[in-house]
Amino acid sequence: MVELDAKTIEIVKSTIPALAGTGSKLTQHFYARMLGNNPELKNVFNEANQRSNAQSEALFGAVCAYAQNIDNLAPLLPAVEKIAQKHCSLNIKPEQYSIVGENLLATIDELLAPPKEVIDAWAAAYGVLADIFIQREKEIYDQSASVEGGWRGLREFKITEIVPQSNVISSFKLEPVDAKPVAKYEPGQYLSIHIEHPSLKNQCIRQYSLTTEPNGQYYRIAVKREELGSVSSLLHNTFKVGDTINVYPPHGDFFFNSTKDLDTNTPVTLISGGVGQTPMLSMLHGLKENGHQGKVTWLHSARDAQSLAFEKEVVETGSTLPGFSSHTFLTKPSPSSGCPFATKIHEGIMDIQKVLANQLKDTNVHYYFCGPVPFMQAVAKQLTENGVAVSNIHYEVFGPHRVI
């Protein structure tokens, strides 16, 4: 890898105030420019994230973080891994980095009109970062293709089962058309679904969490019907058992054994809101498969009893683990709210202190959570305010990553 000289580092770091001053205007301009010049990339980027500016905000944060840490990239490595995994789930190719670099440099030039030495410094800096991603992504691609049941690129699967799990979530069982084994995955990882349909302006790629333990024969994902979700609406309303769908291999950096401190006796708490329970469910199955001996606690928040999904499966899987307990919070309960399974029902928003007062004092517990961003921000706040170390907190954001 080419190392940047001191002068280049100094110039890049000196541009931080100017970059910060643009807010996300810089990355909004970048995406509009790049997708205008290279419309084929609309087949890669999620249009909903473009509309909400979530993608541009995530990129802006990444650009600023890179500039701030350009002389010491070690703090960025976790973010690099997360982004590289997502890139591989989209089948990003090395040559696409040239397109990104060209448009990023042109955007800086068009918005900030800096001296040529600034553009040259950013060109060198971007080249180093691109090489890091290209190298790591090659490793991920090679690994995905080399494991038993693995592959590179798209593979055709048949939908063999669709099960409504709640009034908004359905699970889809996918079996390979070639009837060959499928690659194992880490509990908490996701599968990328590639959709082409006459109702869509562009091909779409969406990631959905895997929801069972690896079995080598099939995958199961869960999809929430989103009001404005073009792909989720197709899956719920149009696709049926027997239809085929193209799939990329499993990816993702969020899984329950992602820290060296987590062994079979480590207490684990899985926390979720809404469809954020899907990676948690896979983790719960993984804990069962690994014969986990530590205490496992399941906390879930849903709107009402009708939107609860996988409750029976959670309780049955948890019952095989020693010391398992589960709590469900219903934010808008009805008089008939309840659960026929062995879980404790609470009304209102999730109050971790209320149900885990004693556990929060145990410094060995690891917490994994997923759900809507405001929900996760509230969870993180409750945990840190109760003294939980940041190193024991792990989370996944659906969509572009952001720091909670």
Active site residues: 97, 137
Tokens 């019907």 identify what position? 225
Provide the terminal-to-terminal Cα distance of the chain, rounded to the nearest Å: 32
Q: Please give the single-letter amino acid code of residue 326.
A: S
Q: Please give the single-letter amino acid code of residue 336.
A: S
**382: β partners:** none
Burial 359-375 (b: 16+ CB within 10 A, else e): bbeeeebbbbbbbeeeb
Alpha-carbon distance of 9 to 12, in angstroms, equals 5
Angle at 310 between CA 340 and CA 190, to 5 degrees: 170
